Amino acid sequence: MTDMTTQISAAPQDIINRGTLRERLEEPFMRGGQIGLLLLLALVFFLPVLGTLLTAVRTIPDITQNGAWALPASYEWGNLGRAFVEMLPYLKASVIITLPSVAGTLLVSMMAGYALSRMRFQGRIWMFLVIVSLSFVPIHTQLIPVFRLMSDLGLHDTFAAQIIVHIMRQIPFAVLIMTNFFNTVPGELREAGRIDGASEWTIFRRIYVPVARPALSALIVLEFTWIWNDLLWGLVLTQGAGKKPVTVGILSFEGEYEIAWNMVASGAVVAAIPTLAVFLAFQKHFIRGMTMGSVKG
Amino acid sequence: MNARLTPWLFLMPAIAIYGIFGAYPIFQTFAISLTDQVGVAEPGKFIGLQNYVTLIQDDYFLNALKHTGIWVIAFLIVPNSLAITIALLVKQTFWGASLIKTVFFLPLALSFAIVGVVWGWIYEPDVGLLDQLLIGLGLESLIVEWLGPDAATYSVIAAAAWRQTAFATVVFLAGLSSIPTELIEAAKVDGGTRRQIFFRITLPLLKPASTIAVSSALIHALLATEIVLTMTEGGPFGSSEVVGYRMYMETFWNYKFGYGAAIGVIVTLMTAILVVPYVRRMAKAQERDWS
Amino acid sequence: MAHVTINQVIKNYGAVRAIKGIDVDIDDGEFVALVGPSGCGKTTLLRMIAGLEDITGGTIEIGGKVVNGLQPKARDIAMVFQNYALYPHMKVADNMSFSMQLAGASKDEIKVKVEDAARILNLEPYLDRYPRELSGGQRQRVAMGRAIVRNPKVFLFDEPLSNLDAKLRVSMRAEIKSLHQRLGTTAVYVTHDQIEAMTMADKIVVMSEGRIEQVGTPLDLYDEPANLFVAAFIGSPSMNLLEAQVCDGGVRFADGTVLALSGTEGFETGRPVIAGIRPDTFELAERGLTVQVNVTEPTGAETQVVGQIGDTPVTCLMRERISGRYGDVLHVLPQGPVHLFDPETRQRLGTARAAIVN
Ligand SMILES: Nc1ncnc2c1ncn2[C@@H]1O[C@H](COP(=O)(O)OP(=O)(O)OP(=O)(O)O)[C@@H](O)[C@H]1O
Ligand SMILES: [Mg+2]
């Protein structure tokens, strides 16, 4: 009697937790195989990074004699130092370009996103559609006239030109993200603000902007990475070395050192550090931003 | 503040900046593409569709177009199937989840300039990372001239696919996470096998994620300018040219602004056709939200 | 404090008319409940009083002044929202004093007012917390606190208790009522819970489909519903509505049963009517209306019998403990008022009372 009852009550449990008999037998093999495959993929995926790091801290003779994958005969940290010193002007330019661009993008897109999400007005859906579509406009349709316009305005080879263009390019995506975020904030907050006597600007500034903090951090991390990593505008809108961002810098650096692979790798590491650091520190925000907007990559 | 005006005041900075520096240039590009403008100094004269006629007979352009086609096909398949595999493996094994994820997401933080430089070193003949790796594994026979005329396009695609896979993995993992576990559990209680559950429940629910991954892959494949510029500059002998890069070259090296603009227009039209379904879906979702 | 006058108010959403001409007078210090089924326009009307929604036609006056064109902040009103709408990034004290901060009140003044409100609402220990660190009931009280601090002419509530569990709802109900009695501020309270309206309000406005069905004190509405809609809406369980015909000395129901009534003398014989009988007025009888039982639901104090008379579903609340099953038959007679309505116009005709049988 007791046997039977335990059996009966155990049976459904069994099905839920462990699947059919065949699946149960396959399980350990499948799991082992899956982990193995995952590790292998991760390793392959990581090899470019690993190889570059290795190369960066070695000497050329060490590389040519012992092969690219050998452990360094001696760790040449000085390579990175030298690369850093040479890249410094480019890094500085990138900072000067990126920070105001990010700030400008945020301000402009938060305002627009707030209006689109929280206000009812004629042409709202239409505006939204235009913005979604604009986020797909390839840089190629804007390069030539922007280049011409900046020359006409006397802004060629200035930071200002690059900052303006970055803000312009990021507006559609950032507005989209902010609109979608503000859509998730209850509209009652705005009405409570109105009843408390706040103007539209005060509601935006003192209620919606602070509430948007989580979305903002995600957007900041993404925009920082994208703007920092731009190459084409940096090439097209600059002339002298002083105004070129680090993405352009790494190419000149590569040209300069040709087959001094350890230096080229060091240059790449130095140039990658800012965005890598931001990414590693704020990975969660980064990923959340991507999945919130999910248009670019 | 006038209630009618208020929304437009909030939209004004965005509209002004985009209007002047983004939207107006789009129209200008169309206009310039109808001229024979050379350089910026003076406007060219109107030549109608002549640039487009020249384009379809231009061997350089057609060659680039062919490579862009290869990019599109490769990009649709390779990064997305890799990413879905990785996402499923990460989700199912939970093995070292956060560290493993970081490894797969890492390339997203890198610019195409850096990806190009790094992969340039990977593809370096004899001493480079790839050749050395193959030698180490005893697979010398597989070695080819990676950035030579025969393989260059594919090698550049592989470099870009590395980064694209990272993006698609993010998207698919987010898609998988958005499937409620109760759903899978309910299916298990209903007696579904693992295979049935995957094909009948997981996969269909990944559709939104797939749309995103696919449209992103399409756009990156169509443009693919920065990575080609960094790694091969279209060479050797145009063997890795793509249309986006062609546009850059014609404009900023040959100073044929009118001609370059025409290529820009074509790139834009190709993108537009491909993203229309995606935009439609977004619009519909939003309209539902707002009504 | 102020009286509120709503005069021929209309609201259109595009082509849809949500409010179809409403008149209500709310006296100074009165607690008025707006009730009605979902979608009848309660929230819309409230938001028009608040100034959150444009007024398409008619006028709204607060304290004798037409406020149609005024922004919410200029109307001297405070509102408690259904989901509280607390600012998530501000502590309780800041949530309550935001309006004063915006108005440029001094720190001391703010402190005094906030502490007063907190004392009234038992929120003193929570002033330094964020809304997410509070329970639902506490959040509800903060939302009220925010309204109190402003010391407005009128309080507006939009289903403020609907997100609380049943028990808390009952205690908050009492709290709001006593608060109103203490402050004496005019209040407009939207709810779709007619018990809430009955227990709290001085005056109830019953709405349906953008119109007012009846305005009156809770007991007026209960005792003399103006039409079938109000009859069915007010009271729980709802009034039973049975088709009948006036006959000599009473009414005859569809199944042929004759109920002797006093008060039907004025109606011509054969006139069709609808007889409204409250469930709790039924008592068991030897002969009378025949109820076919579907289920009986004992609650301890009384038994609720759900069944039908002929084809019409009915509910009877009996003091006796009855254990009927499906298919059983009971005989019942109303021992209280029988409300008579015109089936065509659906308006009230009058009230009759059961005559002593035999
Ligand atoms: N912004 C709007 N646009 C169009 N129609 C609306 C809008 N807001 C409300 N309505 C319509 O107006 C009518 C009244 O809505 P209201 O929100 O006032 O109902 P309610 O009585 O508060 O209902 P509930 O008890 O469900 O809250 C409904 O038919 C609704 O569909
Ligand atoms: Mg409502």
CATH number for the domain that contains residue C325: 2.40.50.140
Residue B1 belongs to a domain: no
Distance from CA of B150 to the nearest CA of A (A): 23
**What is the domain count for chain C?**
2
C303 plus C200 within the same structural domain: no
Distance from CA of A183 to the nearest CA of C (A): 15
C205 plus C253 within the same structural domain: no
Tell if the CB–CB gap between C73 and A195 is shorter than 8 Å. yes
SS (H, E, C) chain A: CHHHHHHHHHHHHHHHHHCCHHHHHHHHHHHHHHHHHHHHHHHHHHHHHHHHHHHHCCCHHHHHHHCCCCCCCCCCHHHHHHHHHHHHHHHHHHHHHHHHHHHHHHHHHHHHHHHHHHCCCCCHHHHHHHHHHHCCCCHHHCHHHHHHHHHHCCCCCCHHHHHHHHHHHHHHHHHHHHHHHHHCCCCHHHHHHHHCCCCHHHHHHHHHHHHCHHHHHHHHHHHHHHHHHCCHHHHHCCCCHHHCCHHHHHHHHHHHHCCCHHHHHHHHHHHHHHHHHHHHHCHHHHHHHHHHHCCCC
Which pTM value belongs to this model?
A: 0.84
Report the C-alpha gap between C40 and A146 in whole angstroms: 55
Q: What residues in B contact A32, CB-CB < 8 Å?
A: none
Tell if the CB–CB gap between C85 and A192 is shorter than 8 Å. yes
Least confident window among A159-173, B100-114, C256-270: C256-270
Percent of chain C exceeding pLDDT 90 equals 61
* Nearest ligand 1 atom, CA C192: 25
pLDDT number for residue A16: 47
Render pLDDT for C296-350 as a digit per residue (tens, 0 to 9).
Answer: 888 888 899 999 988 899 999 988 888 878 888 888 888 889 999 999 999 999 8
The Å distance, Cα C257 to ligand 2 centre, comes to 43
Q: Please state whether C288 falls in left (phi above 0), alpha (psi between -120 and 50) or beta.
A: left
Percent of chain B exceeding pLDDT 70 equals 96
pLDDT number for residue C11: 95
Distances (CA, A) of C9 to A6, C15, C20, C68, C116: 70, 16, 7, 10, 37
C213 plus C259 within the same structural domain: no
Residue A261 contacts residue A279 (beta carbons within 8 Å): no
Of C177, C202, C232, the domain-final residue = C232
Percent of chain A exceeding pLDDT 90 equals 37
Average pLDDT, chain B: 86
Range of the domain at B101: 32-281
Burial B98-113 (b: 16+ CB within 10 A, else e): eebbebbbbbbbbbbb
- DSSP alpha helices (H): ranges in C122-227? 136-149, 166-183, 194-200, 218-223
Tell if the CB–CB gap between A195 and C77 is shorter than 8 Å. yes
Q: Is the pLDDT of residue A29 over 70?
A: yes
Q: What residues in A contact C73, CB-CB < 8 Å?
A: 194-198
3-state secondary structure of B203: helix
C264 plus C159 within the same structural domain: no
Burial of C195 (0-12, 13-18, 19+ CB in 10 A): middle
Residue A295 banded pLDDT, cuts 50, 70, 90: very low
Complex ipTM: 0.88
Q: Among partner residues A12, A108, A230, which is closest to B13 by beta-carbon distance?
A: A108
C228 plus C258 within the same structural domain: no
- Using DSSP bridges, classify how beta strands C31-35 and C258-262 pair: parallel, antiparallel or unpaired: unpaired
Tell me the best of C20, C40, C81 to mutate to test the pocket of ligand 1, counting ligand atoms within 8 Å of each CB and taking the most.
C40
pLDDT number for residue A24: 64
pLDDT number for residue A108: 96
Render pLDDT for C66-88 as a digit per residue (tens, 0 to 9).
Answer: 999 898 988 999 999 988 899 99
Tell if the CB–CB gap between A189 and C87 is shorter than 8 Å. yes
Tell if the CB–CB gap between A145 and B7 is shorter than 8 Å. no
Ligand 1 contact, C13 CB (< 6 A): yes
C187 plus C254 within the same structural domain: no
Range of the domain at C263: 238-354
Burial of A161 (0-12, 13-18, 19+ CB in 10 A): buried
**What is the domain count for chain B?**
1
pLDDT number for residue A21: 65
Interface of A with B in 31-50 (CB under 8 A): 31, 34-35, 37-39, 41-42, 45-49
Of C232, C259, C278, the domain-final residue = C232
Residue B132 banded pLDDT, cuts 50, 70, 90: confident
Average pLDDT, chain A: 85
Burial of A70 (0-12, 13-18, 19+ CB in 10 A): middle
Considering every ligand atom shown, identify the ligand nearest to the alpha carbon of residue C38 and give its number: 1
Closest-CA residue, ligand 1 atom 5, reads C13
CA neighbor of B248 nearest in space, from B119, B64, B59, B31: B64
The Å distance, Cα C39 to ligand 1 centre, comes to 5
Q: What residues in B contact A227, CB-CB < 8 Å?
A: none
Q: Is the pLDDT of residue A80 over 80?
A: yes
The backbone torsions φ and ψ at residue A227, rounded to the nearest 5 degrees and listed phi first, read -70, -45
C205 plus C74 within the same structural domain: yes
C18 plus C156 within the same structural domain: yes
* Nearest ligand 1 atom, CA C210: 14
Distances (CA, A) of C174 to A74, C46, C115, C197: 80, 22, 22, 12
Render pLDDT for B205-243 as a digit per residue (tens, 0 to 9).
Answer: 888 788 888 888 888 888 888 889 988 888 788 888 999
Tell if the CB–CB gap between A251 and B230 is shorter than 8 Å. yes
Residue C260 contacts residue C250 (beta carbons within 8 Å): yes
Residue B96 banded pLDDT, cuts 50, 70, 90: low
Place of tokens 């298990």: B188
pLDDT number for residue C125: 93
CATH number for the domain that contains residue B53: 1.10.3720.10
Least confident window among A225-239, A282-296, C32-46, C266-280: A282-296
Q: Is the pLDDT of residue C279 over 90?
A: yes
Report the C-alpha gap between C263 and C184 in whole angstroms: 41
Least confident window among A248-257, C35-44, C83-92, C223-232: A248-257
Closest-CA residue, ligand 1 atom 28, reads C39
pLDDT number for residue C328: 87
Average pLDDT, chain C: 90
Q: Is the pLDDT of residue A9 over 60?
A: no
Q: Among partner residues B32, B188, B222, which is closest to A145 by beta-carbon distance?
A: B32
Ligand 1 contact, C191 CB (< 6 A): no
Distances (CA, A) of B4 to A119, B1, B19, C57: 10, 9, 21, 19
Mean pLDDT value across residues B177-190: 81
Residue A166 contacts residue A236 (beta carbons within 8 Å): no
Tell if the CB–CB gap between C85 and A186 is shorter than 8 Å. yes
Residue C72 contacts residue C51 (beta carbons within 8 Å): yes
- Of residues C84 and B288, the one with the higher pLDDT is C84
The Å distance, Cα C14 to ligand 1 centre, comes to 13
pLDDT number for residue A240: 78
Mean pLDDT value across residues A266-278: 91
Ligand 1 contact, C185 CB (< 6 A): no
CB-based contact (8 Å) between C99 and chain A?
A: yes
- Using DSSP bridges, classify how beta strands C282-298 and C329-334 pair: parallel, antiparallel or unpaired: antiparallel
C178 plus C293 within the same structural domain: no
Q: Is the pLDDT of residue C291 over 70?
A: yes
- Of residues B274 and C176, the one with the higher pLDDT is C176
Residue A272 contacts residue B112 (beta carbons within 8 Å): no
The backbone torsions φ and ψ at residue C218, rounded to the nearest 5 degrees and listed phi first, read -55, -45
Residue B65 contacts residue B207 (beta carbons within 8 Å): no
CATH number for the domain that contains residue C214: 3.40.50.300
Interface of C with A in 39-98 (CB under 8 A): 47, 50-52, 71-73, 77-79, 81-89, 98
C196 plus C226 within the same structural domain: yes
Burial of C268 (0-12, 13-18, 19+ CB in 10 A): exposed
Residue C228 banded pLDDT, cuts 50, 70, 90: very high
Closest-CA residue, ligand 1 atom 30, reads C39
Q: Is the pLDDT of residue B290 over 70?
A: no
Fill in the amino acid letter for A18: R
Closest-CA residue, ligand 1 atom 25, reads C38
- Of residues B196 and C315, the one with the higher pLDDT is C315
CB-based contact (8 Å) between A53 and chain B?
A: no
In degrees, rounded to 5, the angle at the alpha carbon of residue A149 between the alpha carbons of residues A111 and B61 is 105
* Nearest ligand 1 atom, CA C14: 4
pLDDT number for residue C115: 93
CB-based contact (8 Å) between A184 and chain C?
A: no
pLDDT number for residue B291: 60
C202 plus C276 within the same structural domain: no
C173 plus C257 within the same structural domain: no
Mean pLDDT value across residues B31-44: 85
